[in-house]
Amino acid sequence: MKRLALLALACAAVAAQAAAPAPAALAEPALVSPKALGAATLAVARAGDRLVAAGERGTVLWSDDSGKAWQQAAVPVRAGLTTLRFVDAQNGWAAGHLGVILKTSDGGKTWTKQLDGLQAARAMLAAATDDAGRRVAQRFVDEGADKPWFDLDVIDARQAVAVGAYGLAMATRDGGASWQPLPTRAANPRGLHLYGVRVVAGQWFIAGEQGLLLRSSDGGVTFTPLASPYKGSFFGLLASHTGALLAYGLRGSVFRSGDAGANWDKVELGTPLTLQAGIERRGELTLLAQNGDAFTSSDDGRTFMRQPSPGGPLPAAGLAAAPDGAWVIASLRGTRRAQP
């Protein structure tokens, strides 16, 4: 299983066994400290010409010089953050442990909490329409804020979707004023973990453990399972500028679909390493392995070339393209710049 997924679930288990720390982490702001500049980061994204990185204990950093120097943002929680996405230079969301979802409207300098695991569980219970759904939701309520989000995607300044552990999936259509559960349980009855989500040409795709692939063609109103080409876990989804979709994950596995998930072709990367992140930049696709190696494609994801991690292996987690052309890698050793 993906390194970050194991980390997130381990933290969730600790939170479940010791409920007392969870309320404090949700109520106390992230500690502002010079040490935060070297803290472990799990995600990095572009906000216009700014870079924003997020990671442990609610740490969020921002940089206006392509990742050469960083400043710490104001964050209202100390929960670890696993994912973030921006719709433009000002508006974005971050999500992570304890069911936390945060929103920024100033390019990542300050953040507000929109949702936590307790609120998410109560929303699930209120939305449940049958006994089975109510039992699942009640269990989530009883277990508290112990389930992490693994990925999110943004459609515009009002619409975003987040997915996480044990089948968690929610969306907002009002800028985050409210978050509503998505009806994925029928397509994912075992509550498998959901690791990746992308909205491509109006269609919503979700990828998860044990090869799970879901699609919605009606804006998240209903979801159906797709025939999966792989039984291992998918840890992310990447869309090309043509609309082709890549599902990637365990042991260097990559599959490409050019027809909205109806059919998938295996892409040979030649690596046994788990893939952690992917980005599209000016028509070029890049996948990041857990050791910091990058794999790039200039033919719409049909073939890839390996570029070893500069300076040796790095416990990599996230990837973004800096305005000056460099890659910026989020890692358990902090953020790192690398030339492609």
Q: Cα 214 from chain centroid?
A: 16
- pLDDT tops 60 at residue 148: yes
Residue of higher predicted confidence among 256 and 133: 256
Adjacent-strand bridge partners of 289? 275
User: What is the residue extent of each domain of the chain?
Assistant: 81-313
The answer to whether 318 and 290 have CB atoms below 8 angstroms apart is no
The answer to whether 111 and 76 have CB atoms below 8 angstroms apart is yes
Q: Which two tokens stand for residue 119?
A: 């609120």
Q: Could you give the CA distance from residue 243 to residue 240 in angstroms, rounded to a whole number? A: 5
Tokens 């990559």, residue? Answer: 254
Query: Computed from CA positions of residues 42, 281, 91, 154, in that sequence, does the dihedral angle turn out positive or negative?
Result: negative
pLDDT of residue 16: 41
- Mean per-residue pLDDT over the chain, rounded: 92
CATH number (2.130.10.10, 3.40.50.1000, 3.30.930.10, 3.40.630.30) of 81-313 reads 2.130.10.10
pLDDT tier for residue 9 given thresholds of 50, 70 and 90? very low
- pLDDT tops 50 at residue 17: no
3-state secondary structure of 36: helix
Cα separations in angstroms, 80 against 9, 99, 101, 250, 301: 12, 10, 11, 23, 32
pLDDT of residue 23: 57
Q: What is the pLDDT of residues 162-201, one digit of tens each?
A: 999 999 999 999 999 999 999 999 999 999 999 999 999 9
Instruction: Report pTM.
Output: 0.92
DSSP 110: B
3-state secondary structure of 272: coil
- pLDDT tops 50 at residue 14: no
